Structure 1
Amino acid sequence: MTRAYPDRFYPVVDSIRTLMDLAALGVGTIQLRVKDLGEAQAAALVGEAVESVQGSPVRLVINDYWRAAIVGGASHLHLGQEDLATADVPAIRAAGLTLGISTHDEAELETALAHRPDYIALGPIYPTTIKPMRFGPQGLDRIGVWKKRIGAIPLVAIGGITLERAPSVYAAGADSIAVVSDIANADDPDTRVREWLALEPAGD
């Protein structure tokens, strides 16, 4: 059975060390998101990240640094709306990268769909303190609305989602949940990751 992309549990991390730790625990899809790097720094980071998961089943998703992702031989890319506006999407596609796109409102969803993304992300579902947000919490109902709009395209929910909230988020229509603080702030991150993985239905 072919694994869905992205996996239902989709952690977002900010270091190679954490990336490797999660890969060792059996996580299938992991996004590396490190902000405010120069072009040379981004290229070095992406190259190291790609090498760190080479030969493993991990689908490594690079956040924003599309040029570095192409040069570094990455396979998966995630873009926010600001980066999407300046990215060379034909070059990204020509390099064979998948493309996931963040959305927060109807206009952004239309923009994202015009690029035929491999998944759509919606957030924040709940209040989050990870970064300043221009948009308020979307809520569970919006997940269902987005899923009806995008059909077979996978929908990734992100923002303030804990393990305890996850069943409701999946039930609302999310195909995948991107997780940041629920792992990073856990007393025992490894145990928390295993609990997330155990939440996945058999066969996924």
Structure 2
Amino acid sequence: MSVDVRLIAIADPAVLGGRDLVDAARRAQRGGATMVQLRMKHASTGEIFQMARRLVEELTIPVYVNDRADVALAAGASGVHLGVEDLPPAAVRSFAPEGFRIGISVGSEDEVRLMGGAPADYWSIGSVFRTSTKPDAGEPIGIEGFRRVARWAPAGTPLVAIGGIDPSNAAEVVRAGADGVAVIRAVFAASDVEGAARRIREAVDRELERRRSG
């Protein structure tokens, strides 16, 4: 069964301004998020585990944990999201149970090679546009960069655009070949999380429908 990547809401307490992460994730789900990805870069293993467990218990959409396959498995999450500095996808496949999902982040052809060809359930490609969430992300790759990296993906792999995505450019990345978008700040830094998620999801859905109808 394919992963629904139309709107990956990346829940990061760093952008919530003290608001409750689980409540914000619920609001994102109501707005149309198809997956929640937990990102807690400066938290302890125990803190990440406890938050992942809460999300799994409270949400009806899949929950993924960034970077930590061990925590994702222990918390009963649907999958893990890996970067080039994490365990290779093939290594995670060697111990994860059947049905456990793996998403990866790649931003260049070199990173695809570092990921060992990246046999994954979806590819998150970017940063497409400039973003303040990842100041170490380097220069954005733009729409053409997204297309270049996407060509390396195995046929049928769902493609996700990440980095600076908001309601104004979500349709543009879908036109470039993305099957969905991953968003942090445009959803979780918004005063109306549900409304922000809904606007992005509607933009993605409209463009996907145009693609299907030819």
Give the TM-score range, shorter chain. 0.7 to 0.9
How is 1:73-84 mapped onto 2 (pairs within 5 angstroms)?
73-84=76-87
Task: Give the % identical residues.
Answer: 28
Question: Which residue, out of 142, 148, 161, partners 2:151?
Answer: 148
How is 1:91-130 mapped onto 2 (pairs within 5 angstroms)?
91-94=94-97, 96-112=99-115, 114-130=117-133
TM-score, length basis structure 1: 0.85
Does the 8 A contact of 1:19 with 1:32 survive in 2? no
Does the 8 A contact of 1:13 with 1:31 survive in 2? yes
How many residue pairs get matched? 199
Does the 8 A contact of 2:31 with 2:195 survive in 1? no
Which whole-Å CA distance do the structure 1 matches of 2:24 and 2:198 have between them? 14
Could you say what secondary structure the match of 1:149 adopts? coil
1:42 paired residue number: 48
1:68 paired residue number: 71
Quickly say closer, same or farther: Cα 1:22–1:184, change in 2 above 3 A: closer
Does the 8 A contact of 1:123 with 1:158 survive in 2? yes
TM-score, length basis structure 2: 0.82
Which whole-Å CA distance do the structure 2 matches of 1:138 and 1:52 have between them? 36
Quickly say closer, same or farther: Cα 1:17–1:37, change in 2 above 3 A: same
Quickly say closer, same or farther: Cα 1:189–1:21, change in 2 above 3 A: closer
**Structure 1 portions without partners, runs of 5+:** none
- Measured against aligned partners, the alpha-carbon deviations of 1:164-200 in whole angstroms (never above 9, x if no partner) come to 1111111111111111122234343322222122221
1:161 paired residue number: 165
Which whole-Å CA distance do the structure 2 matches of 1:52 and 1:122 have between them? 28
Moved more, 129-138 or 87-96: 87-96
1:25 paired residue number: 31
Which whole-Å CA distance do the structure 2 matches of 1:92 and 1:136 have between them? 35
With a CA cutoff of 8 Å and minimum separation of 6, indicate the structure with the bigger relative contact order. Answer: 2
Once superposed, what is the RMSD of the aligned Cα atoms? 2.4
